[in-house]
Each structure stands twice: as structure tokens, then as C-alpha cells.
A and B are shown apart, each in its own frame.
Chain A
Amino acid sequence: MIASTRAELLRLRRWPTVWVLCGAWLALNLTFGYLFTYLSYRSEGGSGFADQVSDQAEAQALLAQILPDQVPVVLLQGLPMFGGALLLILGAVTVGSGYGWGTWKTVFTTGPRRFTALAGTLAALGIVLVALVLATLVVDLAAAFAVAGAESQPMAWPGLVDTVRSLGAGVLIGAMWTAAGVLLGTLTRGPALAVGLGLVWALVVENLLRGVANLLGAVAAVTDVLPGSAAGSLAGALGSVAEGDPGGTPGVNTVLDGGVATVLLVGYLLAFLAASVLLTNRRDLAA
């Protein structure tokens, strides 16, 4: 499996798509996590975002969100929806493209078992994911310290436990969405349909179902345990402001306890991986 992982890392490292997706996530995280919040804070009494900042207390609250001690929260808040969608795309194109290009056919006749080859891909994706979450932490810390320095605020580091917990949650949420993309890429044997279906599910269907659940209580039992709900609940449990609350982030919610959300996410992750491996092992590769 080490050989397969090295092979996959080589080709992922050279794939512009991976860099574009990772760059897009870092840019989104920085823009929505820091830039807009900071501009809102700075625009108090001025133009642009001034209407949303009614008084000094709110301005201080905005500033407090982007100081270094809040980095663990900012790191997580975009992952349940936007980050998750980007990672779903990463999983879908990494696996799905191999069917379109015929590279799975080439790899499966090179020597490793199908399981080993796919495990190498999953391990390489895992390494990319961990690196991305760590890069997000570094970028967020840099942004937060820059803000603190510019505004003469305390340069206090975020708590170690909070940071580690946030990193772990970020990797878990990201892994679940990436695995969902892998499964879709495997099911559809191509990147386009997998990405389309995945995005429609992550960005539209789950939200629509939650809307229906507001009207039909029975549906809530289902919507509360959907992948997006679990991811949003974990972020909410670790301090991110829920969607609908003032300053809330789309995708974040508090419908589940943090522990339950974690268990659900692990369950989804394992189920998606198991289904992908099973399909890859059992299906003919006839095209």
C-alpha cells in the first residue's frame, strides 16, 4: 500500500486540479472568515457594511471573531458546507477521472490488488486533506495575528486543546465529504456526474429537506442525521455560529450533540469507504 500511496501522491501533487481546489478553499476561508468580517468591523460609521454594524459593541464582537484565540472556530465554520463541497469535488474527480481516462484499468493491470490501489488513493487523499487543514490553520493564524497586530489587540495563541479538537473535527468533516465524493466517483465511473450529484446534494437537497422538515416534523428525524447536518452540528458544537443566528455561517447548525455528530460522521465515513472498496473490488472494468 505504501507503493500505491507514493504513486498516487506523485500524480496528485502534479495535478493542477488539486491545487486549484485547495487554493479555492483557502481563499474562501480567508475571505469569508477574515476579510469580510474585518471589512465589516472597519466600515463602522463609513460605507459598505456599515448598516450591519449598529454600535460599538457589535464592532468589538466582530473583531473578537477574528482574533487569534478564535482561530479554531473560524477554521471549522466553512467546512460543513463550502469546504465540504470542495472536498467532495476532490474525491469525485480523483476517483471518477480514473474511469474516464482509463487509468484505473492501467493501474489494476500493473500489479497491486484493486483494494491496495484504491487504499493508496484514499491514503493519498487523506494526506492531502490533513495538509490542507493544517495549511488552513496556518493561514488563519497568520490572518488573525495580522488583524490583532493592526488593531493593537492581544496576541494570545488559541488554546491547544481547542486547536487540536478543531483540527480533528476539520479532518473528520473533510474526510466524510471526500469519501462521499470517492463513492460518487466510483458509482458513476466518471467525474462530471459525480460532482454534479454531489454538489446538488450538499448544497441544495439537504437544505430543501430541512425546509420540508420545518413543515413536516416526521421528516426532521431523517434530516437531522444527514451527512451535512452531522457536519454542521459538529462545527456548531465546537463554537461556530449556527446558520440563522446573527453572524451565523451557512451549513452550521446545532441540531445534534457534538458526540452524536462525531459518531454519525465516523459512520458515514466508514460506510462511504466500505461501499467504494466493495464496488471497486467486485465490478468488471469493461470500459
Chain B
Amino acid sequence: MTEPNATTDDQIITTNALTKRYGERAAVDQVSLTVRRGEVYGFLGPNGAGKTTTLRMLVGLVRPTHGTAQVLGHPPGAPAALARIGTLVEGPGFYPYLSGRDNLRVLARYAGLDDVAVAAALELVDLTARATDRFRKYSLGMKQRLGVAAALLGEPDLLILDEPTNGLDPAGMADMRALIRGLADQGQTVLLSSHLLGEVEQICDRVGVISRGRLLAESTVADLRGQASVLVRADPLSTAREVAAREVGAERVALADGSLRLSIDGERTAALVRALVHANLEVREVRPIERNLEDVFFELTGDQEEVSS
């Protein structure tokens, strides 16, 4: 079903029309995405959008109905690829009767790693002090951190993390984001799914937005936000519009809700204000308008209820 795609060394993951159907329902519908080496790729979508199903297909847990994928140069689920991938998909799965350390030791044995790798992974997620506690006694946040530690075993080239900050307190979330960003800075590629827009905006280089199984957009965060603009309120508005058009070009000036919206970056604001004042206009408000990822997301998905910012 899944066949090799043409990939380059720079492309760590490529999918081509990847589709998973359950009966008539398409959980993932014709998704084509690319994750490049060394980047943190945010896979953003509301709950039930198809993020986890896509990730499951990428690690071979679920077979696609249609389409192809290539992960680290191999079909999804190939042992050669899995040995270089650290995965945390849909929450951590561990033996409740074993300690955190023994759980990692079991996984390390499966992966042919020694206990040194276990100690290093526990240290990275700050779980060394509680490593001998049984997994069933861990808090939700500790379980999540152990899941990330398992993903980090053996210093994989690619991390696939599904909602890695689930269950973490604010400090834990900040630590996790810093850890992920740090790993990317060291050259590891990270594919991160999340429904937290702020999280994706903070740590991701590029973003894929998925909703109802379809990939709606894929680009850098900056590109998705689009060009910055400046809002101007001044009286009289018609004169202000003329002055602004002379200063930045008529094509960059739009009238909206009793104000002007100028498609310019912040560096030109000072000159604009000088021109407005020089024209004896009463300038009441000048402020930059930056679209955040949330605005973009809602525009793309048209579904504002299921997403938390």
C-alpha cells in the first residue's frame, strides 16, 4: 500500500495524498506534507482533525488506505526508520507495575541500547529523582515526560511527538518547549502535533494546518501570518487617506470601519505619523496590527470552537 516516494536528503518526511478511511469517513484525506531536516514542524489542528491518525500512519501503527509516505528514506514502520525515530503518539504507553527507569530499560533492550541511554533520557526530562517510582504512581505530567524520555532514547534523528505538553503544568510546558527547541537547535528534526496555537507559534519553524482530515495550509509561521499592517484613526478621514496614499502608495491603503488599514511594516510608521501631523490632521490612533496564528487558523478552518489558544 505504501510505496517509496522521491525524497531528497533535506526531506525527512514526505507524504503524497496520504489517506485513511474508516468505512465512509475519511479520518485523513489526501494529505501531502513535507518535513525538512532540522526544523520543528507544527502539525496544527482541532481535536479530531486527523493529526494523530496521520502520525500513526507515519510510524507504521496504522496502514494508509491510499497514498504514500516516506520517513527517513523508508516506508512508514520500517525497522531501519523506526530505529532513528523517537515517538510519542497519543499519550505514553508503559507498564504500570514497573518503575520509570525499568520501563525505559525494557524499551532500551528492544532497541538494543544500554542503560547509559536510559539515564541520559531520564536526565533530559528531569525525572531522575523519581526514576525508581512505579509508573502507576506518576502524575499525568510525569507520565508525559517519561513518554518524551522514551522518545529521546538513543538520540533519534527524528522526533514525532503528539501533543507533548498534554498534562504538564505551565512550568512543565515551558520546560518541554525549551527542550524541543533545544533539540532542534542541535540538529534533530521534530514533527510536533498540537491543538495549542500559542505552542506552535512559539517553537515551530513551519506549520501544517489540518482540519477534518485535510491539510489546509503548509508554510512558515511568518508566511501564514501574512504581511503586517498598521491601523490609523485620524480626522478628517478622507484627508488622512489622501496623505497616507501619498506616503505609502494608494494600493496599500484600505478603508475599514472608520479607520485606515495600511499594508506596511512597522518601520514606516514614524514617517507616516509625521506626514499626518504635518497635514494638520487630528491623529487619534496609530497601531500595528499583527495577525497571529490563531487568526490564520480560524480563517482557514472556519471552526473556532474546538481550539484553545
Q: Which of A4-12, A52-60, A145-153, A237-245 contacts B (4 or more CB under 8 A)?
A: A4-12
Given contact pairs A10-B102, A102-B91, A285-B56, A110 touches B110 in the complex (Cβ within 8 A): yes
Given contact pairs A16-B97, A101-B93, A117-B110, A284 touches B61 in the complex (Cβ within 8 A): yes
B59 CB–A CB distance under 8 Å: yes
CB pair A7–B82 under 8 Å, yes or no, is: no
**Chain A residues, CB < 8 A from B97:** 14-17
Per-residue interface assignment for chain A, residues 113 to 142, with 1 indicating a CB less than 8 Å from any chain B CB and 0 otherwise: 100110010000000000000000000000
CB pair B61–A105 under 8 Å, yes or no, is: yes
Given contact pairs A7-B109, A109-B82, A286-B56, A101 touches B95 in the complex (Cβ within 8 A): yes
B174 CB–A CB distance under 8 Å: no
Given contact pairs A10-B102, A14-B102, A102-B92, A111 touches B79 in the complex (Cβ within 8 A): yes
CB pair A106–B94 under 8 Å, yes or no, is: yes
Overall SS of chain A's interface:
helix
Given contact pairs A7-B107, A117-B110, A284-B63, A109 touches B89 in the complex (Cβ within 8 A): yes
A42 to B62, CA, bound (A): 63
Given contact pairs A6-B109, A10-B105, A14-B102, A112 touches B94 in the complex (Cβ within 8 A): no
A107 to B97, CA, bound (A): 16
A106 to B98, CA, bound (A): 15
**Whole-angstrom distance between the Cβ of A182 and the nearest chain B Cβ:** 17
CB pair B61–A113 under 8 Å, yes or no, is: no
A11 to B134, CA, bound (A): 13
A31 CB–B CB distance under 8 Å: no
Other-chain contact of A106, B77, B83, B85, B93 (Cβ < 8 Å): B93
Q: Within residues 84 to 127 of chain B, which ones have a CB less than 8 A from any CB in chain A?
A: 85, 87, 89-98, 102, 105-107, 109-112
New contact pairs (4) apart from A3-B111, A7-B107, A109-B89, CB-CB < 8 Å:
A103-B94, A105-B93, A286-B56, A286-B61
**Interface residues, chain B, CB within 8 Å of chain A?**
53, 56, 59-63, 77, 79, 82-83, 85, 87, 89-98, 102, 105-107, 109-112, 150, 153
**Interface residues, chain A, CB within 8 Å of chain B?**
3-4, 6-8, 10-11, 14-17, 101-113, 116-117, 120, 284-286
Give 24 CB contacts A-B under 8 Å: A8-B106, A10-B102, A11-B95, A11-B98, A11-B106, A14-B97, A14-B98, A14-B102, A15-B95, A101-B93, A102-B92, A102-B94, A103-B93, A103-B94, A106-B92, A106-B150, A107-B107, A109-B60, A111-B110, A111-B112, A112-B79, A113-B79, A285-B62, A286-B53
